Amino acid sequence: MTTSLSPIASAFGGSAANESPLPSWKEGATKQSIVNFVRGVTTAGDPRFVKREERIAVFDNDGTLWSENPFYFQLAFVLDRMKVLALQHPEWKDNLLYSAVLRDDLKAVTGAGERGLLELAMITHAGMTTEEFSKIVEDWITHARHPKFNRPYTEVIFQPMLELLGYLRANGFKTFIVSGGGVEFMRVWAEKVYGIPPEQVIGSSIVTKFEMREGVPVLTRLPQLNFMDDNVGKPVAINMHIGRRPIAAFGNSDGDLQMLQWTAGGSGSRFALLVHHTDAVREYAYEGTSMGKLEVALTEAAARGWTVVDMKSDWNRIFPFESAK
Amino acid sequence: MTTSLSPIASAFGGSAANESPLPSWKEGATKQSIVNFVRGVTTAGDPRFVKREERIAVFDNDGTLWSENPFYFQLAFVLDRMKVLALQHPEWKDNLLYSAVLRDDLKAVTGAGERGLLELAMITHAGMTTEEFSKIVEDWITHARHPKFNRPYTEVIFQPMLELLGYLRANGFKTFIVSGGGVEFMRVWAEKVYGIPPEQVIGSSIVTKFEMREGVPVLTRLPQLNFMDDNVGKPVAINMHIGRRPIAAFGNSDGDLQMLQWTAGGSGSRFALLVHHTDAVREYAYEGTSMGKLEVALTEAAARGWTVVDMKSDWNRIFPFESAK
């Protein structure tokens, strides 16, 4: 993965703390709102100043740090994994849902609803140790390719957000992922791709069990949901894992609303941002499709003065592999 | 709390990274095992070298970082809190367990077993927002006094372990608490007392619920256990919160056994240590009492070559307020 990640890594180290930050963000109100916030909380004596240890920033992942189209990348993992496992399960051809997966009938798969997807997640994410699972994910993420861009999923990430992560960290922020995605799925690659270490990745999880196997300690992954890190779950998870309220939050859907409310609802300097997918040419435009519901959060953003990124007009570059407009 | 904590804070900043570390540890095999481990993992080119980001150290709290006698300090909080709440609950005098608490009948209280203690914990830890609870704990920890030493509980902490925390951090370690104690109880004071920030405190928890109250986001604490961070729960919690296996673990009871097994069971350099309470004069000697069961872990320590601290002979100073022997 080193080769494929090198352009991404360069996004972090490219510039000094406050020297022309955020090159992929066009000049304008959106970029200015970010820079103003960061200047305020880092300037000693400024009434907006925030102590370094309180500078916690939380980021949704799907649709905020990387793309979530044509469907959640983790679903691609689930479907690919089902095909591998099917080799040992000839009986799956008689199961409506499983056979739909095997013949790439996405409509039938998504038609099975949340319960169907959860069933597929359990089959593909449980029944092995945590270390075995990490290896499976690492192998998949190295070899799988995004269907539209024909690149590793770890390159279908948003260059402006990489710059933002680096900019915040250069200004003393600790950056966390708070995602509905599986925590042990993301931790395998989040440090290399985003510079976010495993202990700063928060996500959904299944139950694990500690046991000694012939004198060797293992954690076994069980087919049982432990925590769903979405909607009202996000502030709960933030409190559980971080234990202090973030001062900045970044999301892109109604599933991030409560995280933004929780972040913005504290005292002192606060920043909340929504990424609005508006670029049908370079990425995807959600409006008029069933993708990434954002109505409630957009309304609240307008009412509360949160920043909304219009991807089409605010970003002069979307992916690391793409040159600037 | 600033005044009472100043002697403690000085334990961290006193000496440079490798210059006469651990002054409260007597010279000998125990101290040497710690220093050897740290030198190995921090010396580039040494086969024992460990990358900085993998230098994760986990510490039990009760009996490892602070005393746990004459009973868990958090139980003192529970009992004190019950007395405050009783003013609004005259009917408690008719409840066997509650009235035992109110007349300081500790024997009856502990006789109620785990279920009774859990009931008291729920009454005292739930029914308010997370922010309200933090304020209650902060007020209590500032004013409560240890019955034997007549000092704040946050001073009844082990000076050698403070030095160890500082020594590890000076050598690039990230230090975490992994305790059976309540996570939101510890986070209030752990940063000031141990230099461990909230996001590196892992503990037991109750369920919290996100809600908007007249436009204000709150997390409400519900009287329902979420996670018990003890025994087999500790490796599970470590994996959930940290997402990588620690290379060093410190405990003092059989409840820490699985955390030590999980830590020691990884590849490369590993360090596991047990604090054995053997000093009846300066602190407490557990042997022959019902306190802090350690039989299984001590046996495993002998079999696997883990380090065991004999408090009486290995530490020339136990508490920050005490002068060296």
Q: Centre a 10 Å sphere on the Cβ of residue A131 and count the other Cβ atoms it contains.
A: 12
Burial class of residue B253 (count of CB atoms within 10 Å of its CB; 0-12, 13-18, 19+): buried
Instruction: Evaluate if residue A255 carries a pLDDT over 70.
Output: yes
Each residue of A85-129: pLDDT tens digit?
A: 999 999 999 999 999 999 999 899 989 988 999 999 999 999 999
Q: Which residue of B has its CA nearest to A184?
A: B243
Judging contacts by C-beta atoms under 8 Å, the chain A residues touching residue B199 are 56, 174, 199-200, 241-244
**Residues within 8 A of B (CB atoms), A 22-61 only:** 53, 56
Query: In this structure, what are the phi and psi dihedrals at residue B267, rounded to the nearest 5 degrees?
Result: -85, 165
Q: What is the DSSP string of A24-46?
A: TBPSSHHHHHHHHHHHHHHSTTS
- Residue B164: both structure tokens together: 């160890």
- Other CB atoms within 10 A of residue B212 CB: 13
pTM value is 0.93
Between chains, do B199 and A244 touch, taking CB under 8 Å as contact? yes
Q: For the segment A127-186, what is each residue's pLDDT rounded down to a tens digit?
A: 999 999 999 999 999 999 999 999 999 999 999 999 999 999 999 999 999 999 999 999
How confident is the model over B167-211, as pLDDT tens digits?
999 999 999 999 999 999 999 999 999 999 999 999 999 999 999
pLDDT at A56: 98
Size of interface A-B (CB pairs under 8 A): 90
Give B27's DSSP letter: S
Instruction: Collect all residues of chain A within an 8 Å Cβ-Cβ radius of residue B258.
Output: 210, 217
Give the pLDDT confidence score for residue B291 in this predicted structure.
Answer: 77
Residue A191 at interface with chain B, using a CB cutoff of 8 Å = yes
Q: Is the ipTM of this complex over 0.90?
A: yes
Q: What are the beta bridge partners of residue B276?
A: B310
Task: List the single residue in B210, B236, B261 with the smallest CB-CB distance to A258.
Answer: B210
* Pairwise CB contact (< 8 Å): A262 & B199: no
Per CB-CB distance under 8 Å, the chain A contacts of B255 are none
- The answer, yes or no, to whether residue A17 has pLDDT greater than 80, is no
Inter-chain touch A262–B232, beta carbons under 8 Å: no
Does B225 contact chain A (CB < 8 Å)? no
User: What whole-number distance in Å separates Cα of residue A59 and Cα of residue A39?
Assistant: 20
